[in-house]
C-alpha cells in the first residue's frame, strides 16, 4: 500500500472499536483524521490522542448523524479545517437491542434504520457533494455479515438495515464511479468490540467462537487494516465490492 500522507479521512463512529482502530492505522499511514462521535466523548478524546501520538492531526466533531443540519455542519467544519475530504468511512451504527421479530415495535424498527441507514444516506450525500467537483474520493461503508445471515440472535431488524447498507454501497458505486469516486464496503463478522460487550452475553460468545473456521473472534484491527487497504491506491480498480472480514464464518 502506498503512503496515505496526503489524505483527509472522515470517520464516523470513531470513538471506539473499528472506528478508533481505523483512525489509528490511517494516521500511522499519514492521513489527517476527522473523528466524528455522538455520545462517547471520552472515547473520542482517546481517538484524538491516539492519532496525535502518530504525529498526525485529528479534528473531533460531535454530531447526531440522523439530523441533516448536524451532518451538514459536520461536513462544513471538516472542509473548513482541511479544505476537502478524500475518504469517508461510514462506520457509525448500532443494533439498539435484540428482539424477537414479533416483539419488534415500530420505534425500534425505525430507530434501527435511522442509526444504520439514514445516517449513511445523510453523511454520504453531504460528502459526495464535495467530492464530485474534485472528481476524486473514496467511500467505505461498514455493513455486517448479518446482512447475509439474516440476523441470528434476535436481530432481524439490524440485519435488515445492514442489508440496506450493502445495497446502498453497490448503488452509490455505480452512480459515482463516472465522477472518479470509488465506493466499497466491508462486512465484518464476529468482532470483539464494545458492540459485542453490549449485545452479546459470555454464553453467546463461547458458543459462536468455536464455529469460526480461523479459530478465533476478530478484533477491530482486523477490519481496520481492510479499511486502510480500500483507502489506498492498491484498491483503485475496485468499486461496489463488499469485502467479508469474518475468519471464514
pLDDT value of position 196: 64
Give the integer Cα–Cα distance in Å for 23 and 4: 12
Q: Where does the pLDDT of residue 195 fall: very low under 50, low under 70, confident under 90, or very high at 90 and above?
A: low
Asked whether residue 3 carries a pLDDT value surpassing 70, the answer given is: no
Helices (H), ranges, 37-114: 41-53, 68-82, 106-113
Asked whether residue 57 carries a pLDDT value surpassing 90, the answer given is: yes
Q: Where does the pLDDT of residue 1 fall: very low under 50, low under 70, confident under 90, or very high at 90 and above?
A: very low
Instruction: Spot the catalytic one: 37, 113, 158, 237.
Output: 158
Q: Where does the pLDDT of residue 48 fall: very low under 50, low under 70, confident under 90, or very high at 90 and above?
A: very high
In the chain, what percentage of residues exceed pLDDT 70?
96
Residue from 17, 185, 10 nearest 89 by CA: 10
Give the integer Cα–Cα distance in Å for 130 and 115: 23
Question: How crowded is residue 137: how many other Cβ atoms within 10 Å of its Cβ?
Answer: 21
Residue from 96, 103, 87, 69 nearest 33 by CA: 87
Asked whether residue 171 carries a pLDDT value surpassing 80, the answer given is: yes
pLDDT tens digits, 197-215: 665 678 888 889 999 999 9
Residue from 2, 227, 39, 71 nearest 16 by CA: 39
Could you give the domains of the chain? Answer: 8-190+220-244 (3.40.50.720)
pLDDT value of position 202: 83
* Cα Rg of the chain, angstroms: 17
Asked whether residue 227 carries a pLDDT value surpassing 80, the answer given is: yes
Give the integer Cα–Cα distance in Å for 217 and 232: 26
Pick left, alpha or beta for residue 150 (phi over 0 → left; psi -120 to 50 → alpha; otherwise beta). Answer: left
pLDDT tens digits, 6-40: 899 999 999 999 999 999 999 999 999 999 999 99
User: Mean pLDDT over residues 165-191, rounded?
Assistant: 98
pLDDT value of position 6: 84
pLDDT value of position 199: 59
pLDDT tens digits, 90-99: 999 999 999 9
In the chain, what percentage of residues exceed pLDDT 90?
89
Verify whether residue 158 is a known catalytic residue: yes
User: Mean pLDDT over residues 63-82, rounded?
Assistant: 98
pLDDT value of position 197: 63
Give the integer Cα–Cα distance in Å for 234 and 23: 19
Amino acid at each position: 500500500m502506498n503512503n496515505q500522507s496526503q489524505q483527509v479521512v472522515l470517520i464516523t463512529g470513531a470513538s471506539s472499536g473499528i472506528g478508533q482502530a481505523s483512525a489509528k492505522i490511517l494516521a500511522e499511514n499519514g492521513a489527517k483524521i476527522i473523528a466524528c462521535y455522538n455520545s462517547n466523548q471520552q472515547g473520542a478524546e482517546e481517538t484524538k490522542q491516539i492519532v496525535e501520538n502518530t504525529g498526525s492531526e485529528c479534528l473531533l466533531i460531535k454530531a447526531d448523524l440522523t439530523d441533516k443540519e448536524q451532518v451538514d455542519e459536520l461536513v462544513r467544519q471538516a472542509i473548513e479545517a482541511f479544505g476537502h475530504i478524500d475518504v469517508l468511512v461510514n462506520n457509525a451504527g448500532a443494533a439498539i437491542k435484540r428482539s424477537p421479530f414479533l416483539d419488534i415495535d415500530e420505534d425500534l424498527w425505525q430507530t434501527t434504520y435511522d442509526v444504520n441507514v439514514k445516517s449513511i444516506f445523510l453523511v454520504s450525500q453531504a460528502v459526495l457533494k464535495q467530492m464530485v467537483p474534485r472528481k476524486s474520493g473514496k467511500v467505505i461503508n461498514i455493513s455486517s455479515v448479518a446482512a447475509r445471515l439474516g440476523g441470528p440472535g434476535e436481530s432481524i431488524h439490524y440485519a435488515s438495515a445492514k442489508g440496506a447498507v450493502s445495497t446502498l454501497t453497490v448503488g452509490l458505486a455505480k452512480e459515482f464511479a463516472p465522477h472518479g469516486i470509488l465506493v466499497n464496503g466491508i462486512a465484518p463478522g464476529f468482532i470483539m468490540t464494545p458492540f459485542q460487550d453490549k449485545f452479546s452475553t459470555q454464553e453467546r460468545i463461547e458458543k459462536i467462537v468455536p464455529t469460526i473456521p480461523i479459530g478465533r473472534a476478530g478484533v477491530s484491527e482486523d477490519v481496520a487494516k481492510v479499511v486502510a487497504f480500500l483507502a489506498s491506491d492498491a484498491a483503485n480498480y475496485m468499486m461496489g465490492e463488499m469485502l467479508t472480514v469474518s475468519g471464514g464464518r
